Structure 1
Amino acid sequence: MDSTFGRVTVTLPSLNEPGLYLSNVSTLDSARGIVQDFQYTDANLRDLDLTDTSLITGRVTGLRADRVRLDKVRLDSVEFDTCDLATARITDAKLSRVVFRNCKIMGAQLTGVTLDNVLFENCKLDYSSFEQVRAAGPLVFSKCVLNEATFTGSDLSRAVLDACRLRLAEFGRGKYQDLDLRGNDLRTVRGTANLGKVIIDRAQQAELAEALVAELDVTFADTLDDRR
């Protein structure tokens, strides 16, 4: 199943195909290290801790976990719907054809994660950090809240942020060529000097200028008298 955002088309999991049967599972952990063709629903966990595990072709719905740690995990053709994965720690993972829809992942830390055909849709990602994250294929954030999120040393080339809330979101040094920022309010973003070669609408020029002026903490001449 494909969804198009701007100039980017994301290939998402096709979990309703005829002949595909998803078995209900009681855990996402497995002694074999692989959970495949699965459905995991309405779990309420204190800890979700997975290492060297592959989740392939499945749906996770209504999961609530107080602490999430995914290390060296592979997700392929997996859909997360209406999940609370607050303070998730995801490291050295690879996600392909994965969608997070209506999820709360506030304060998450993604480090060394490769994303290929991944969609975050209507998700809350406030205060999350993306460090050395690489968009190896289409990556879209659509209608997400990314207030005070940070991107550091990441490659977001050709990714799309569509109708997102970016209050005080910070873009550190990284690769942003053809990052599509159309349809977002950019007035309060930080790290504007690093956003070379991104795609914006002409009307957003003033927004980026406002963000840059705020970041430089300049003083306007007509306010000098007020500072005496």
Structure 2
Amino acid sequence: MSTRTIRRTSVTLPTLDEPGLYLSNVTSLEGGRGRLSEFQYTDADLRALDLADTHLLDGRVTGLRTQRARLDEVRVNSVEFTGCDLSSLHWSTSKLNRVVFRDCKLLGATLEDVTLDDVLFDNCKLDYSTLIRVRAAGPVIFSACSLREATLTATDLADCLLDDCDLRQTEFAGGTYRGLDLRGNDLSRLTGVTSLKHVIIDRAQTLQLAEALATQLEVTYGEDLDHQ
């Protein structure tokens, strides 16, 4: 199995090029009896996508664009999403295992009560997104992603990794982050610093966290008063 490794964190990727595995072109993600396997779904432009109680297994979703998407109780195993625009997505009560999101837009997306295990977000835009009680049951990597003004509420990202991400006004509103690797990011403009207990950073990032905390506390610097 192929993997994506950054520093100490490795994500196992979908296995879609194995001998004997043939992906059939499909025109819908709604499989028979709630299961769709060994599929390829390409260049769909939808007004709305609604999936519930569905299992997606061994497939590629490429160039999917939707104005509104709602996924509930959708299990995803060994699937790649590439170049998709899933802005305003609401994804709830689901499990994702060996899943890749590459070059995808998830602007304003909401992930609620979603479990992630071996999941890679690569060069994705998650600006203004909301993660509520999202739990990492295995390794998760956000690489070169934008999470500007995203909010993470009661999220468990222990032992996961964010690398080269835009974290301007990203809010960590409670949750579990022990072992979360934040090296390689500018932390000076994130909020909710006190939630980030036991994370991994470089020593040089200590000043960035201090700047973020000072902004959050709305402190006034004495030297500024002296020059008034």
Determine if the TM-score, normalized by the shorter chain, exceeds 0.5.
yes
CA distance in 2 between counterparts of 1:202 and 1:213 reads 18
The secondary structure found in structure 2 opposite 1:72 is: strand
Q: Deviations over 1:17-65 (max 9, x none)?
A: 1211000001001341000000000000001100000000000001101
Residue type of the alignment partner of 1:49: D
Q: Which residue is equivalent to 2:212?
A: 211
What pairs with 1:22-61 in structure 2 (closer than 5 Å)? 22-61=23-62
Counting matched residue pairs gives 227
CA distance in 1 between counterparts of 2:227 and 2:59 reads 62
Residue type of the alignment partner of 2:57: I
Q: Which residue is equivalent to 1:158?
A: 159
CA distance in 2 between counterparts of 1:6 and 1:147 reads 24
- Deviation (angstroms), 1:226: 5.6
Residue type of the alignment partner of 1:11: T
CA distance in 1 between counterparts of 2:73 and 2:61 reads 19
CA distance in 2 between counterparts of 1:139 and 1:5 reads 11
The secondary structure found in structure 2 opposite 1:173 is: strand
What pairs with 1:62-211 in structure 2 (closer than 5 Å)? 62-211=63-212
CA distance in 2 between counterparts of 1:42 and 1:100 reads 16
- Deviation (angstroms), 1:127: 0.3
Poorly superposed stretches of 4+, deviation over 6 Å: none
Q: Which runs of 5+ in 2 are unaligned?
A: none
- Deviation (angstroms), 1:5: 1.3
Q: TM-score, normalised by structure 2?
A: 0.98
The secondary structure found in structure 2 opposite 1:187 is: coil
Q: TM-score, normalised by structure 1?
A: 0.98
Q: Which runs of 5+ in 1 are unaligned?
A: none
- Deviation (angstroms), 1:222: 1.4
- Deviation (angstroms), 1:142: 0.3
